[in-house]
Amino acid sequence: MHDQLIRDPIIIVGTPRSGTSSLFAALACHSDLWSIYSESGWLLDGPYHPKYRGWDSHVLTDLDLDPKARPELERQFFEAVGNLERLPLGRHIPIAGRGKPWLTPFIAKLTRPLKKPPVRIVEKNIPNILRTRFMRALFPTARFLHLTRNPLDNLTAMYRGWMNPYRYNDFPLPPGFKVVGHEGGSWAFLLPPGWRSMNGKTLAEVCAFQWGSCHRRCLDDLAGTDPSRYLRIHFEELVMKPAETLSLIASWAQLDPRQYSRFISGLPRINMTKNAPRVDVKVEEIRAVLPLVEDVAGDLGYSVLG
């Protein structure tokens, strides 16, 4: 046994370009939640990076976590998090800038004297949607916050992300691998199981595959989870009623909802791509692949018809 460093963490899961960054930034503005203020990929991309696993996928399960390694990984998370809300003037630091690589270690160091275990954290990393079993093994008391977005809008945003030559060039495509309509040489965002079957498919089909397979994996892996440990939120509700939705999340997470009243007029604008080339997405292309995700969309409360 080891002393618990982190309790009841909130793990945000969602597909790329679904609003998870804005939700993460908003939730991290609570004095009871510690945060890295950026994605935690650098913590898990050591022995767990897909390149060390045959480029198979980003999936991790409880079987991938060595019980002997768990205390050290928990300690790394504990050491990495900070909490600006605990500082007298911390809340005045712009929310959009808190996740800068040079700033997050400084925040952790500055607030270290205030960190008394066990702490609560809010955690966000896009591959976590394929790793809920792993994250629950790492943090047995974890609460999973599942953010979803209308598939038409989400697939359109993912399509634009794939076409941006300056970002999301995450994984080199194998020799001879072709995504029709995509001239880049990299696979974007994350690798669901079976991603190699997309060779020769259109970019719209690839986006639909990523969206559908990620949500399906998440739903299956979290099936039967106690409602106190799993909450699903629609991005559309979050945008239309930010303070009300954040208050709902706070109540579910047993946090004081009053600290989120600052967002009554809107969510923080995070992860906005500056100077990105304009990508004209033909809505017809996206609509044509919606039947591929009809079942999982229905399970998430969306209709792709009409």
Confidence (pLDDT) at 275: 53
Q: What residue segments make up the domains of the chain, in order of their start?
A: 10-299
Confidence (pLDDT) at 286: 95
What φ, ψ does residue 115 adopt, rounded to 5°? -90, 110
Those residues whose C-beta lies under 8 Å from the C-beta of residue 67, and which sit 6 or more positions away, are none
Q: How many CB atoms lie within 10 A of CB 45?
A: 14
- The one-digit pLDDT tens for each residue of the chain (306 residues) are 468 999 999 999 999 999 999 999 999 999 999 999 999 988 888 889 999 999 999 999 999 999 999 999 999 999 999 999 999 988 888 888 898 888 999 999 999 999 999 999 999 999 999 999 999 999 999 999 999 999 999 999 999 999 987 787 789 999 999 999 998 899 999 999 999 999 999 999 999 999 999 999 999 999 999 999 999 999 999 999 999 999 999 999 999 999 999 998 888 876 655 555 567 788 899 999 999 999 999 999 999 875
Considering the domain delimited by 10-299, tell me its CATH architecture: 3-Layer(aba) Sandwich (3.40)
How far, in whole angstroms, is CA 129 from its chain's centroid? Answer: 7
Those residues whose C-beta lies under 8 Å from the C-beta of residue 161, and which sit 6 or more positions away, are 16, 17, 167, 168, 188, 189
Q: Are 50 and 172 in contact (CB under 8 A)?
A: no
Cα radius of gyration rounded to whole Å, the chain: 19
Strand blocks (E) in the chain: 10-13, 122-124, 143-148, 171-172, 186-187, 230-234
User: CA dist 166 to 15, 78, 174, 178, 258, Å?
Assistant: 20, 32, 20, 20, 39
Confidence (pLDDT) at 281: 81
Confidence (pLDDT) at 165: 73
At 230 the three-state DSSP class reads: strand
Confidence (pLDDT) at 6: 98
**How many distinct helices (H) and strands (E) make up the chain?**
11, 6
Confidence (pLDDT) at 268: 83
Confidence (pLDDT) at 169: 77
Confidence (pLDDT) at 22: 94
Confidence (pLDDT) at 274: 53
